[in-house]
Amino acid sequence: MQQSLFDISGKIAIVTGGGGVLGSSISENLLKNGAKVIILDIRQEALDARLEKLQTLGEVTGLTCNVLDMESLRNVRQQIKEQYGRIDILVNAAGGNTPGGTLTEEQTIFDLKMEDFHKVTDLNLTGTIYPSIVFGEVMAEQGEGSIVNISSMATYSAITRVPGYSVAKTGVNIFTQWLAMEMATKFNEKIRVNAIAPGFFIGDQNRAVLINPDGSLTERSKKVIARTPMKRFGDISELNGIVQFLCSNAASFITGTIIPVDGGFSSFSGV
């Protein structure tokens, strides 16, 4: 039988932030399609909670790791190399908004505390760059691999209240393009680096700003839906296909791209 273009079976995949909403959903799909998955998260309890379900789907390991700490990442890399000998896929899903980094409706940029600004930019930008360097080095040695970063709609045009997150995710975009160029020109064209830019999905971090306690839409989410041609939020599972595609041979000539998964949000002027 001819192998599917989208086949990822047997690949060794690392998912940072694997204890989170997106990371665990992406991990589920990788496992269902035969990849061996290592989920990394700074919170042991998040790993434990996700592992229970993930272990029913395939070969998965959970390791505590801080994506902002090179030593922590190198320790994990060593363990993975000893266990599997290689790394085929890296999905950088650790990230997101942080409490103080998101302004309230009443606050302005002049209320933003610099420590909160640094926390959110560090998590989203440094937290993508460090794992890409540590695990990307293994891909450079073996001459193949696929890195998928998570960007955001906040990089296409300004979104209120999230200044630090927006600049950090825009940094993720150019880092994606930069590393794609570096890997293909200096190492091997079989090392590809891409990003997905999710539109609006209900996750733990943004539920409170999008959904009222009674389940109705907030004013903010009404604006989102009005700008989304498909007139709905995304379902987290709708990110799985694009990640699998980018990690498979079907995407063998695709590198340095940032692909929106947004129900049309980024392509619509609103008029």
Structure tokens of 136? 């990307």
Smallest distance from ligand NAD to CB 16, Å: 6
Buried b (16+ CB within 10 A) or exposed e, 135-168: bbebbbebeebbbbbbbbbbbbeebebbbbbbbb
Positions annotated as catalytic residues are 165
For the CB of residue 60, give the shortest distance to ligand NAD in the complex, in Å: 15
**Closer by beta carbon to ligand NAD, 46 or else 89:** 46
Distances (CA, A) of 157 to 151, 234, 243: 13, 19, 24
Q: Distance (Å, rounded) from C-alpha 162 to C-alpha 147? A: 26
Nearest to 146 by CA among 75, 92, 95, 96: 92
> CB-wise, 188 or 205, nearer to ligand NAD?
205
Q: Which residues bind ligand NAD (CB under 6 A)?
A: 16-17, 19-23, 41-43, 46, 65-68, 93-96, 123-124, 127, 150, 152, 198, 200-201, 203-206
Residue 253 CB, nearest approach to ligand NAD (Å): 26
Decide: 262 and 234 in contact? Cβ < 8 Å.
Answer: yes
Tracing tokens 């691999």 back to the chain, one arrives at 145
Minimum CB distance to ligand NAD smaller for 127 or for 164 = 127
The least CB distance from residue 86 to ligand NAD, in Å, is 22
Smallest CA-to-CA distance from 68 within 19, 135, 123, 15 is with 123
- Whichever of 89 and 187 has its CB closer to ligand NAD, that residue is 89
